[in-house]
Amino acid sequence: MSRIEGLFARENPAFIGFTVAGDPGIEASFGVATTMIDAGVDLLEIAVPYSDPVADGPVIERAHARALRAGTTPDDVFALVRRVREYAPALPLVLFTYYNIVYRRGADRFFAEAAAAGADGVLVVDLPSEESGEVAPYAARHGIDRIALIAPTTSPERQHAILREASGFVYLISLEGVTGERDRLPSGIVGLVGAVREKTDLPLAVGFGISRQEHVRTVTATGANGVIVGSALVRLIEEHSSDETGMHEALATAITALRDGLTPRS
């Protein structure tokens, strides 16, 4: 059983945290990851910094920019994943990336290095299912799950096509638009979780816009297997980028509060 399978085999929903590798610096990024792990994230998404992160809103865009200004390269990202894997041997780790990075490195090399570093899954944000053959053989060769994205606007037919290629878990986008904190989540989340649940046995995790304890409670009450929080945590890194101790304290406090919104399975 893989680490991702083991996580979602538990009865209770998972809390998934997100960070951009190299934000606000290479070494500081490792401290961010360990703080998030110690605070209780069940799975950690680590983004490979990219100059044009089209799926991301302003908060995470700025994190990508900070990481790139710090000189973060894919080699640094894999080194970070290795360190995090050593720190937390049982924790599932997923790389969040854009296809240009995979293409430039070579898909076989990218997935081989991801596996060697200790990653369990890869989410290629901007690679449509029609082009999944560009990476599918290499992910399978190196034992890496390919995390799929499904949006509220994804048609039922397209959902089926995406799910045929997916493994690990399915990332359900809660809203139309880019990442970023929202005051309220769309009412359609319940319907989206239910519609996709009818088509797959894979675990379902919901992300985009989730920033409050009540959001976490709402999502887990739909029967989703996991909740993904990104911008709300990345914003704390930005706000405390010159105060490492304050950054770690803010992250730990936020994760603890957000986790309190998880609804145990009855």
Q: Which residue in 5, 27, 38, 45 is the catalytic one?
A: 45
Q: Could you confirm whether 76 is annotated as catalytic?
A: no
Q: What is the 3-state secondary structure (H, E, C) of 230-266?
A: CHHHHHHHHHCCCCHHHHHHHHHHHHHHHHCCCCCCC
d(CA 97, CA 122): 7
End-to-end C-alpha distance for the chain, whole angstroms? 25
Reported as type and span, the H/E element at residue 73 is none
DSSP secondary structure, 10-55, as one string = SSSPEEEEEEETTSS-HHHHHHHHHHHHHHT-SEEEEEPP-S--TT
Residue 80: other Cβ atoms inside 10 A: 24
d(CA 24, CA 28): 6
Give the list of residues 6+ apart from residue 75 with CB closer than 8 angstroms, or none. Answer: none
Q: Which residue in 23, 42, 52, 56 is the catalytic one?
A: 56
Task: With CA atoms as reference, report the closest residue to 64 among 49, 52, 74.
Answer: 49
Q: Could you confirm whether 45 is annotated as catalytic?
A: yes
Give the list of residues 6+ apart from residue 197 with CB closer than 8 angstroms, or none. Answer: 204, 223
Residue 203: other Cβ atoms inside 10 A: 18
Q: What is the DSSP letter of 166?
A: -
- Given a contact cutoff of 8 angstroms between Cβ atoms, the answer to whether 122 and 87 are in contact is no
Q: Enumerate the active-site residues.
A: 45, 56
